[in-house]
Amino acid sequence: MANTFPFLTTPELDQLWLLGEYRKCANREIIINKGERSNRTFFILKGMVRGYIYTQKGEEKNLFLRPEHTLTGAPDTMFEGVATKYTFEAILETHLLLFHFPQMEQLSSEMLNVARIYIEGLKENLQTLLFRVESLVYMTPEERYEALLKRSPQFFQTAFNKHIANYLGITPVSLSRIIKRRQESEKGLDN
């Protein structure tokens, strides 16, 4: 975490580690389950996490794909204390530092540099949300793919195509076609 937040002093890092709970998750391990009341937020040290909901038809819909070095959690239960409608699951092996949200807020009020992590995490989550909404409203599936590839190339190195397709609001077959067209286009430019 020192590399991710070089502005943290050693005592601040120590305090974060004391406050947090380290957890190593296997692929597909559930971190937060639908129906839980979890006031936990977590920092992804390594790996990736997806957050999804179930439709009325029982289909999973990815709302969140969170890469390493991001702070996240189930917003409904974290902010409102209600049972969450989201499930958060590790993609591949994932390493987390979990915090109880009220404790993180308290530490943020006591340590300016910890508040900086908190504020940067909120800003990053808001920017991701806006990107996601705007891309679904204004972009074609191919444009959404290109925009996500440009914005978050790490997704394509860590997440499975079925998760990316779901996140983009398309089928895995459509994503495969988009990738194939892009590769063919790049080959044409090379000739």
Task: Give the tens place of pLDDT for each residue, 1-43.
Answer: 657 778 888 888 888 888 889 999 999 999 999 999 988 899 9
CA distances for 119 relative to 83, 104, 112, 123, angstroms: 25, 11, 10, 6
107/191 same-domain check:
no
97/176 same-domain check:
no
123/174 same-domain check:
no
- The number of distinct structural domains making up the chain is 2
Q: What distance in Å separates the CA atoms of residue 163 and residue 140, rounded to the nearest whole number? A: 18
pTM of the predicted protein model: 0.87
Q: Please, are residues 92 and 48 in contact by the beta-carbon 8 Å criterion?
A: yes
- Higher-scoring residue by pLDDT: 61, 7: 61
23/82 same-domain check:
yes
**How many CA atoms lie less than 13 Å away from 189 in the CB half-sphere?**
6
Domain end (from 138, 153, 172): 138
Mean pLDDT within 73-83: 88
56/146 same-domain check:
no
Q: Give residue 191's pLDDT.
A: 58
Q: What distance in Å separates the CA atoms of residue 128 and residue 134, rounded to the nearest whole number? A: 10
**104-136 per-position pLDDT tens digit:** 889 889 889 888 888 888 898 899 889 999 999
132/156 same-domain check:
no
60/147 same-domain check:
no
108/34 same-domain check:
yes
Q: Which residue has the tokens 């590839």?
A: 149
Q: Which residue has the tokens 């597909």?
A: 28
45/70 same-domain check:
yes
Q: Which domain holds residue 113?
A: 1-138
CA distances for 19 relative to 10, 73, 75, 78, angstroms: 14, 16, 20, 17
Q: What distance in Å separates the CA atoms of residue 74 and residue 30, rounded to the nearest whole number? A: 13
Q: What distance in Å separates the CA atoms of residue 103 and residue 10, rounded to the nearest whole number? A: 19
128/148 same-domain check:
no
127/145 same-domain check:
no
183/107 same-domain check:
no
